[in-house]
């Protein structure tokens, strides 16, 4: 009987699934090596204050240029990193690289660059790592102060363990770092958490912003999110602004900040500092 059952399982195991599992496993192995060998890099996408057009910060985004496969997107390798636990190491690496870039830029311009660097935190990091201790140590090691840093976390990071997430956020606030809720509107955050947790910025998910092009309902959603953020004293960043018209409309609606290909794509560290120089001249 047992044997028959096993055979039954083998029958429903399709070749396509096996291939997908193998592909995932090889990405996982290669990602582990890429982290160890320092083959990942960060790209920096400008964050713009919509009312003035000034650069208020940059979001650090992980990049993986694979020797044979070419560039692998974060949407492909971050989930693998999360499932394998590698995200803890990757996240520490991203934080350290981003903070080092702040220090490098300061040295380059000979004063404190007046921007905030945003770094993404995965829910798995919140759950498994001592994020506040890691941030503290990274800042100390690079002689950078906490108010230069914004940590972006998604709704899932809060829902999994609101008590733990709350504690981490309080500790980050204690370092004077800022906290942004990423991809807002795609998860299931209770509005009570928004009120209770020390969140400084709501990032409105790109899907709502993109939909504004041809869908009046999404403007209503954006209006509601903006007024909610305003009532709670939070700044707002619209993701995925890809046209002048969207930038204008969002600014008119009261959105404070924006990010998107209309302003700039993610840039390497040299291009990003140049972008800041040109914009602030
Ligand atoms: P995210 O944090 O929401 O980052 C914004 C994503 O939107 C970036 O994709 C950026 O390139 C893209 N984007 C910005 N403006 C536009 C636009 O106008 N049009 C379009 N179509 N896309 C735009 P990217 O770099 O592929 O990253 C995807 C996601 O991967 C990020 O979404 C974030 O969730 C995750 N990620 C990237 N780097 C890290 C990291 O170091 N740690 C963690 N935990 N997650 C990361
Ligand atoms: Mg983000
Ligand atoms: Mg986002
Ligand atoms: Mg997003």
Phi-psi region of 89 (alpha: psi -120 to 50; beta: other; left: phi over 0): alpha
| Three-state secondary-structure class, residue 245 | helix
The phi and psi torsions of 80 (rounded to 5 degrees) equal -65, -40
pLDDT of residue 13: 54
Q: Please state, in angstroms and as integers, the Cα–Cα distance from residue 281 to each residue in 53, 210, 277, following that order.
A: 12, 30, 6
Ligand 1 pocket test: pick from 239, 244, 247, 258 the residue with the most ligand atoms within 8 Å of its Cβ: 239
The closest-lying atom of ligand 1 relative to the alpha carbon of residue 43 is: 25
3-state helix, strand, coil in the chain (%, to 5): 55, 20, 25
Q: What is the DSSP letter of 205?
A: P
Pocket lining for ligand 1, CB < 6 angstroms? 45, 61-62, 73-75, 78, 91, 94, 120, 122, 152, 182-183, 206, 239-240, 242, 259-261, 266
Q: Which of 103, 105, 164, 163 is nearest to 132 (CA)?
A: 164
> Could you report the predicted ipTM of this complex, rounded to two decimals?
0.98
Flag whether pLDDT at 200 surpasses 80: yes
pLDDT band at 18 (very low <50, low <70, confident <90, very high): confident
Only one residue has tokens 């790209």, namely 43
pLDDT averaged over every residue in the chain: 92
Q: What is the DSSP letter of 37?
A: T
Q: Are 239 and 259 in contact (CB under 8 A)?
A: yes
pTM of the model: 0.93
- Region 43-70: mean pLDDT is 96
């Amino acid at each position: 009987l047992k044997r028959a059952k096993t055979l039954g399982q083998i029958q429903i195991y399709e070749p396509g699934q096996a291939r997908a599992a193998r592909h995932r496993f090889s990405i996982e192995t290669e990602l582990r090596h890429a982290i160890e060998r320092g083959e990942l890099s960060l790209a920096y996408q400008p964050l713009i204050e919509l009312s003035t057009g000034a650069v208020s910060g940059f979001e650090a985004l992980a990049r993986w240029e694979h020797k044979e496969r070419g560039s692998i997107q974060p949407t492909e390798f971050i989930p693998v990193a999360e499932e394998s636990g590698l995200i803890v190491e990757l996240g520490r690496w991203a934080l350290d690289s981003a903070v080092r870039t702040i220090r490098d830029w300061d040295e380059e311009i000979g004063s404190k660059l007046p921007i905030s660097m945003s770094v993404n935190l995965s829910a798995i990091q919140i759950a498994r790592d001592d994020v506040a201790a890691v941030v503290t140590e990274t800042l100390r090691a690079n002689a950078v102060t906490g108010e230069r840093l914004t940590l972006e976390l998604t709704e899932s990071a809060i829902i999994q363990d609101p008590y733990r997430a709350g504690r981490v956020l309080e500790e980050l606030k204690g370092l004077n770092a800022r906290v942004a809720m990423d991809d807002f509107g795609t998860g299931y955050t209770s509005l009570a958490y928004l009120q209770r947790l020390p969140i400084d910025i709501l990032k409105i998910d790109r899907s709502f912003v993109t939909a504004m092009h041809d869908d009046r309902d999404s403007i209503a959603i954006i209006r509601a999110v903006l007024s909610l953020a305003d009532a709670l004293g939070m700044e707002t960043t619209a993701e995925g602004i890809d046209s002048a018209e969207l930038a204008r409309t969002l600014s008119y609606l009261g959105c404070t900040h924006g990010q998107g290909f209309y302003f700039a794509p993610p840039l390497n560290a040299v291009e990003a500092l140049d972008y800041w120089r040109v914009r602030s001249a």
